Structure formats: C-alpha cells, structure tokens
C-alpha cells in the first residue's frame, strides 16, 4: 500500500494553489463530493472555510476521516436497529 502524497492544483479563493494528499484521501474526497452531488472544488472550498488553524491538507484529511467515521457509525446503528426489529418479530 503506497502512502506517497499526490500534489494536485486547485483554485482557492480565485487563486491556484496545490494540495498534497495521499491517493486514498483524494479518492475519498471525490466519493464524498459525488455522494453530495457537489463539485470537488466546492467541497474543498467548504472545508477551507470551515477549518480552524490547521493547513488545508490536514483539514481535508480530517474531513474525509470524519465523514467515513460518521458513515460507519450510521451503518452500525442501522444494523443494530434492524437486528432489534428482527428480534421483536
């Protein structure tokens, strides 16, 4: 499994800048944008506006991680509710 950072250029606040992320985070970010029916640039802008002190690459990693964690938590709760519902029958 490769952990090399991939540097990509993005437009941020009307200016071109580069962001270095591992390929898995780029993939995750694209998947989140697709699921939200959003452009990647729009999602990055939202992350950029909401970050608190950390650099943009770190903010994107934290965002992707938190989205994955929320998704996993929701799937766990859904499975638990389904199991409880099946037991009631």
Write out pLDDT tens, residues 15-70: 888 999 999 999 999 999 999 999 998 899 999 999 888 899 999 999 999 998 88
Residue 5 has pLDDT above 70, yes or no: yes
Residue 1 has pLDDT above 60, yes or no: no
Rounded Cα distance between 33 and 17, Å, is 19
Q: What is the pTM of this model?
A: 0.77
> Is the Cβ–Cβ distance between 50 and 60 less than 8 Å?
no
User: SS3 string of 19-51?
Assistant: EEEEHHHHHHHHHHHHHCCCCHHHHHHHHHHHC
pLDDT of residue 46: 92
């Amino acid at each position: 499994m490769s952990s090399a950072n991939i540097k990509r250029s993005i437009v941020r606040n009307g200016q071109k800048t580069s962001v270095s992320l591992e390929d898995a985070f780029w993939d995750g970010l694209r998947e989140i944008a697709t699921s939200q029916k959003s452009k990647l640039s729009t999602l990055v802008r939202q992350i950029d506006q909401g970050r608190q002190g950390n650099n943009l690459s770190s903010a994107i990693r934290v965002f992707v991680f938190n989205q994955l964690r929320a998704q996993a938590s929701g799937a766990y709760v859904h499975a638990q509710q389904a199991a409880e519902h099946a037991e009631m029958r």
